[in-house]
Structure 1
Amino acid sequence: MKPNEIKIFCPATIANISCGFDVLGVALDSVGDEMVVRKTSEKGIRITKLQGQDLPMETLKNVAGVAGLALLESSDSQYGFEIEIYKNIKAGSGIGSSAASSTGAVWAMNELLDKPFSTIELVKFAMEGERLASGVAHADNVAPALFGGFTLVRSYEPLDIIPIPSPEELFATVIHPQIEVKTSDSRKILKTNITLKDGIKQWGNVGGLVAGLYTNDYDLIGRSLEDHIVEPIRSILIPEFDKVKSEAIASGALGCGISGSGPSIFALSRREKIARKVADSMKEVYKNVGIDYEIHVSKINSSGIKILE
């Protein structure tokens, strides 16, 4: 007998990875939300519990509800769903809070319906939650949450997502200064045109990063973690960004940049020991200026969303 209820872990994610604005992302292993989704005989979707963050519970105002409805509209299911959300990822943190809720809802619903949809179809549904959250249906957070590991959105029309392997010793450090930067606001300040010179640099770095991940070339990964287009603009919104970045690299990080739209700052390191040293250096910067923060050190999550017992 198939279960009517499922409890899941929905990972936090780092989007953009410096050079890959809206196309690159990676799932984290040590931080994420939990959700309980149950199948009901009453059609539609209801958010029955939401703990950890002050977010709307109305279905059409909640990203999990909107993503779930997108799935139901493409399904011939006669069932409905109740969703409980336990938020450990703060909204506006830059590590995929809305993506965790959106992907968790559609992944769990798909499981309870005996998997009628492919992972790429689930990405499309989850993107509708992202559209509600930021005004843009981007996939750089939802893709790694669903596929696991690193992902490349090769194309949006048609949607084409490439899972990318992750070197065994790669760890992420993410520090979240306790300010909120809304994705919709951080998009408004971006330029809509770039120079050909900057474009060439960025394309080279995206190719270099993907090649480094495939070949376990940590030095190449580090050289490729450069952003000539978005970071110079968005970093203005993040207190002490330049100092945090320079200290992280001085402590051994391969590279450092803005996680998603910020204000979180991420660094990638080879080996957990270095990632924790990087965390200490980041913390020291914010301690010295009196800014509260949260910090996470995580290996790369290769499987994405997972069932909890």
Structure 2
Amino acid sequence: MSLTSTAKTGMTSWPDIAGAIGRYISLLKLRPMSVVIYSAIIGLIASRGSLDIFDSVIAIMCIAAGGGGSAALNMWYEADIDARMARTANRALPAGRVKATRALVFGSVLCLGSIAVMGLVAGWTAAGVLAATIFAYFGLYTVILKRRTSLNVVIGGSLAGVLTPLSGWAAATGEISTAAIAMFIYVLFWTPPHVWAQATYRMADYAQAGVPMLPATAGIAVTQRWILTFTIIHVAAATLPWFTGDAGLFYLAVASLAGIVLLAKAASFVTRSERRDVMKGAREFFRISILYITVVLTALAIDRTILFG
């Protein structure tokens, strides 16, 4: 029987199956999740733990599944908001390509399954950190804070961001040490300006949807000052691993140089006042902040495993 004849017999064709898979994959927010997964890998590598290669891969897959599951739950809960925003109106749920109940089940299974498998493979401390990460993003940020306060990303988003590399660390070592906290605490302060930059050039969308992101509630000038303030804090905090003796001069040099570049971009953004320039500057800062954290995380892994180790 040919694939083209399946419609006449009521069978599902391969293109239909591929389309369904694609729709569910779109719920995982693969682009932002790539940064999440990378930070978890760095956390695992930088820990210099004893988890073997096979179990390490399973642990990272659990973190990826947990992150993707929480993203699917986020889309399920925010389908009404997504429908009112130009950027998100064509997502699978508001566009009707995936039913809400199926998205809820899909996300829940991924989250609960990832926690269970993580516990069995890497221990229940790692599973607990993964569960806390999922709760921070979906429970705290999405459900409790996002629609209520402009501090949503400062609390929920930041906590989820820093817990992700700690999940990788806990998977490899079975614990969260002070060294781990020192190495990744700066992510707490990296997340808000990164998100605020995107919220700045998407502020019309957020205002239309009634989401109290900082640019929509406090205005551009206030947001610019907060972006610069948090950037100063996290660039300084990123050098902490050297001061605590947990990283070497290579890491310090890379983190410092990358920090100077990011600070310069933040300072340039603050000086902009014309709307078109502000939006352009916000996009530039958003993009370079991704490059910044990728470079700093990579430098930490190299320093801990090849040079400092």
TM-score (norm 2): 0.34
Q: State the structure with more CA Rg.
A: 2
Larger helix share, 1 or 2: 2
Which protein has the bigger strand share?
Answer: 1
